Structure 1
């Protein structure tokens, strides 16, 4: 009898897990409570993987040998309670992918914020050094899909706490924990310590041969380390004082010390600006050093890194107002990261084809940081209904030119106007790239 693998949730991680499971000879079935995107449906059909959408067949699911659960499904759901009662083994897609990529080098990055940037930067560093590396996880292609379709020698993985909740053997050679701030506490019984413990699972299987890279300036991390020892080799980073081992700042220079010769470069040569990016740059550089990447390559990478086009891409500054193109943010989660990373007041341009978005995830950040929302789409009702109580100004426009002009009119010196749509683009544009380019054109025409 083939191993019965049931995948709950058909997003990128669920589809990746299905492809890998099928490739490894498992008997795979995908169950999605909502609707499955057309491109994913096609992939399942082409690969002869049976699926259901719009409901869950409990009897089928409870008959599984093993379940891969999407990170988006909370434990509180009726279905998960039944699964736990029955005692079916539940793993995350990360765990499944790890099972079939043992012996490869894994750099795993988690934290409440800065994950995407640090992941992209670490990938850039390994790529610049000429290594066979893939960037996977929350930042694009799922880890399982990569293992199934284009396996690499090195994996740089962005991991959320939800993905860590269901690992069993997953063990990165380098685990990076950037910071821990209260986030998603609804999934952790509103207990900060549960959320912290969940982040620390990234190191739970590590041994002395592995590295745990962490921010010394984060009180939650330090408190947890004091109470719960970790068995891996610890490498801290800080901006508060020089260190003998790890990453630190002295005389406006970044210093990375890992086994031997230091990597030293001026803070002003770093491609990424801002305090939070000092931490991200140190973490990536430490990961590079643990893998013996030459210091010239590390310096070169930290200086040459470009944030991805249409992903928090700085366009220009007009009369003290910064314009940022984050057109790639086609879901609410991406907008959360975008809002989270900006310190200045924000005028947010959003809208497009709403795929049944749940905007509750960004409500707190909108309340805290967004002074106006400019909607741009054929139908802006979902955004207006969801967020109008959380921001003082909510305006509807029907195209990019109008949206940019309205946003500029509501911004004052020191603000940021950001296109971060949370929606697909095909009501007004060909794709998110086209939308991002139209935004840049409209900004330049101001």
Structure 2
């Protein structure tokens, strides 16, 4: 479906974040005279009026009655598709769409690699773009990674590396290759249950002509086994990690220690990127040396530097307990004080507790809404390390300074979203950098977004 197909329809845009603004701009480009209604927060009304004076603006969340007059609702990704108002609108025959779906409708011939997964999707998507560009391929890097697809409307690329969140996987049109990096429970508040989250994540399988999945996850293998053109990474016959090297079968291709992003999980992300390029017909072997100069994404195991004899690492993007475990694994052998906790969305921390019981870090500082719950679980299990509860991130950093020995690490890897204290993970990461004695303003956006 293209935007022009919706001419003469009554259209509402729900959400005035970057995705919502991109949708309004794209609509004006295609159908400049069509009336548009915007639903946003009351605090956004003035900004929305300044952005587009022709909008009809409602500064509240719509219910089913408010949506009833419209033929089409363009929703932003952060608005759950399972909100009662949207379910009722869909039942009434109102078309629910998104910026992602509209972009795919406008670009049916684009060569797209779409990447999703609970963890690793941003780094893998950026790696695909970086490696493809190293081969001289004109490549777009966009999507959930930080650049709405509609901001690139009418621009061309030979390859599109697109990150899709679990909110967007069902909105993709037919695409060349889908990649699923991992599958754990997350965003249960948006999806409503773990089962629905898994089902939504796997929606990507339906639109992908080829599907590349992580061979190290049995559940993922089981749930994708029926795909007719499934490929694997992480198995010994293909791209995998073994004995300190990224390998293609028996051939050693790239030394893990030379990766610019630390950790075995990032080496596996590199395998996913190389396998994706290979699946698209590109020379992955020739691209592999470019892994050396890949610029790490901010807030993802980002080394900030040393202050007062302690090393500081910003992993604010970590929003699941599994991500925190991966961060700790990448720092094994060092005295690490990890700052855990944030917005509580009911995730199961038992795997984290069991893992740190076996190999405890130097100390764990728990803060945020779910901080007390994490601390209680750790104490009840008898984890043999120092466990401290703090009221917020400021207090957590102050406690970590006291606990961490010289040459140790203070790691922000919360395993939870930031919404209890901050607007998003990026704001949390910048504030952590400021508290550590660095300039959080220097943590800029993701390198390479757009087309190059």
Question: With structure 1 as the length reference, what TM-score do the two structures score?
Answer: 0.73
Question: Which residue, out of 6, 22, 38, partners 1:30?
Answer: 38
Aligned to 2:339: 348
**1:440, 1:313 → 2: CA distance?**
15
> Within 5 A, what are the aligned runs for 1:2-151?
2-25=8-31, 27-33=35-41, 35-36=43-44, 42-45=50-53, 48-56=54-62, 58-59=64-65, 61-147=67-153, 150=155
* Cα distance change on mapping 1:163 and 1:269 into 2, 3 Å: same
C-alpha contact 1:263 1:299 (8 A) present in aligned 2:
no
Q: Deviations over 1:136-177 (max 9, x none)?
A: 2222111222226x5544322111122124x2x612212100
> Within 5 A, what are the aligned runs for 1:254-269?
254-256=246-248, 264-269=253-258
Aligned to 1:283: 272
Aligned to 2:344: 360
* Cα distance change on mapping 1:291 and 1:73 into 2, 3 Å: same
C-alpha contact 2:39 2:57 (8 A) present in aligned 1:
yes
Give how far 1:188 is off: 4.5
Give how far 1:321 is off: 5.6
> Within 5 A, what are the aligned runs for 1:192-203?
192=195, 194-203=196-205
C-alpha contact 1:135 1:156 (8 A) present in aligned 2:
yes
Which structure 2 segments of 5+ residues have no match?
Answer: 1-6, 330-335, 357-362, 376-387, 441-452
C-alpha contact 1:336 1:362 (8 A) present in aligned 2:
no
Aligned to 2:297: 308
**1:126, 1:40 → 2: CA distance?**
38
C-alpha contact 1:15 1:145 (8 A) present in aligned 2:
no
Question: With structure 2 as the length reference, what TM-score do the two structures score?
Answer: 0.73
Question: Which residue, out of 277, 299, 320, partners 2:288?
Answer: 299
Give how far 1:306 is off: 2.2
Q: Deviations over 1:384-413 (max 9, x none)?
A: x77566554215697xxx985543213358
Tell me the SS of whatever aligns to 2:202: helix
* Cα distance change on mapping 1:302 and 1:439 into 2, 3 Å: same
* Cα distance change on mapping 1:176 and 1:387 into 2, 3 Å: same
* Cα distance change on mapping 1:396 and 1:264 into 2, 3 Å: closer
Equivalenced residues, count: 395
* Cα distance change on mapping 1:295 and 1:70 into 2, 3 Å: closer
Give how far 1:342 is off: 2.2
* Cα distance change on mapping 1:156 and 1:4 into 2, 3 Å: farther
* Cα distance change on mapping 1:38 and 1:136 into 2, 3 Å: farther
**2:403, 2:337 → 1: CA distance?**
10
C-alpha contact 1:118 1:284 (8 A) present in aligned 2:
yes
Aligned to 1:353: none
Tell me the SS of whatever aligns to 2:12: strand
Give how far 1:230 is off: 1.4
Give how far 1:202 is off: 0.9
Q: Deviations over 1:243-295 (max 9, x none)?
A: 1xx322455432347xxx97822333333332211220111111222334434
**1:320, 1:223 → 2: CA distance?**
47
1:230 aligns with 2:213: no
Give how far 1:113 is off: 0.8
Which structure 1 segments of 5+ residues have no match?
Answer: 351-357, 375-382
Give how far 1:97 is off: 1.3
**1:266, 1:76 → 2: CA distance?**
45
* Cα distance change on mapping 1:442 and 1:403 into 2, 3 Å: farther
Which moves more between the two structures, 212-221 or 7-16?
7-16
Give how far 1:109 is off: 0.6
Q: Deviations over 1:89-124 (max 9, x none)?
A: 212321111111222221111111111211222222
> Within 5 A, what are the aligned runs for 1:202-213?
202-206=204-208, 210-213=209-212
Aligned to 1:393: 389
**2:120, 2:273 → 1: CA distance?**
11
Structure number with greater CO (CA < 8 Å, separation at least 6) is 2
1:175 aligns with 2:142: no
Q: Deviations over 1:281-331 (max 9, x none)?
A: 1111112223344346522222221213555421346799641135xx6xx
C-alpha contact 1:32 1:55 (8 A) present in aligned 2:
yes
Aligned to 1:410: 403
**2:79, 2:299 → 1: CA distance?**
29
**1:95, 1:438 → 2: CA distance?**
40
Question: Which residue, out of 257, 270, 278, partners 2:259?
Answer: 270
